[in-house]
A and B are shown apart, each in its own frame.
Chain A
């Protein structure tokens, strides 16, 4: 059972454009939603994260939008750059229960073309 559904599987955006990746979750007990960025040949690294008590979090060009009622959250990359080309994974966990296990989406391969 896939608890976090991520779309699209791949995305091509022109330099300067907006990249949008969407995730939907099923388990309403999830209380922590991070996004990880992975470059080829590297391990994933935390990019940005949000808790369900806020609807948006912004860090530089990266913004998470969170819709608790729809059980959806999305990553927006403004002014996308070729250096943003990577695979992005959304994830969710139940930190309140102390388990801290992350459930990952299947990933989105982003290509930003000049």
Chain B
């Protein structure tokens, strides 16, 4: 969905390096999420933010940190990357003002940690 963009789309890095994945959205949604996808494991929630001042840990937050710079921007950082953080990372947004809270996903960032 072009309304949710992620940069970079692919990244190869080495163990111990600091990495930042960025997410931007033009949907005007307050809620933003970071997920990790591994083959056969589905989508696991890393962090979520209900507004700029509200950031919460998800089920697998260890080794990750986030920053909500503005309503439209939500960044995920790996302070010291390790090989088992190799995965596909998705950002998503949602607007709970409707009757349901549909999440809109970005195209993903494929991260490889060597």
| Residues of A in contact with B (beta carbons under 8 Å apart) | 6, 9, 32, 34, 41-46, 49, 89, 93, 95, 98, 100-102, 104-107
Total number of A-B contacts with CB less than 8 angstroms? 54
Which of A43, A101, A102, A107 is close to B106, meaning CB atoms less than 8 Å apart?
A: A43
A contact face: mostly helix, strand, loop, or mixed = loop
Interface positions of B (Cβ within 8 A of A): 1, 4, 31, 40-45, 48, 58, 90, 92, 94, 96, 100-108
Q: Known: A32-B100, A43-B107, A44-B105. Is A89-B43 also a contact (CB below 8 A)?
A: yes
Q: How far is the CA of A32 from the CA of B98 in the complex (A)?
A: 13
Residues of A within 8 A of B101 (CB): 32, 93, 95, 100
Question: Nearest CB to that of A106 among chain B residues?
Answer: B42
Taking a contact as CB atoms under 8 Å apart, the answer to whether A106 and B1 are in contact is: no
Which residues from A are CB-within-8-Å of B4?
43
Query: A44 contacts B43, CB within 8 Å?
Result: yes
Cβ–Cβ < 8 Å partners of B103 in chain A:
46, 102
Known: A43-B4, A43-B106, A45-B1. A101 touches B45 (CB 8 A): yes
> Are A104 and B40 within 8 A (Cβ)?
no
* Chain B interface helix/strand/loop/mixed: strand
Residues of B contacting A104 in the complex (Cβ-Cβ under 8 angstroms)? 42-44
- Excluding A46-B103, A106-B40, 7 further A-B contacts by CB distance (< 8 Å) are A43-B4, A43-B108, A45-B104, A98-B96, A100-B31, A100-B101, A101-B48
Query: Which residues of A sit under 8 angstroms from B94, Cβ to Cβ?
Result: 100
Q: Is the pair A41, B42 in contact by a Cβ cutoff of 8 Å?
A: no
Top 5 A-B pairs, shortest CB-CB distance? A43-B105, A100-B101, A106-B42, A104-B43, A104-B42
In the complex, chain B residues whose CB is within 8 Å of the CB of A106: 40-42
In this complex, the member of A6, A43, A89, A104 whose beta carbon has the largest number of chain B beta carbons within 10 angstroms is A43
CA gap between A95 and B100 in the complex, in Å:
8
Contact between chains at A43 and B90 (CB < 8 Å): yes
- Nearest residue, chain A, Cβ from B39: A107
Query: A9 CA to B42 CA in the complex, in Å?
Result: 10
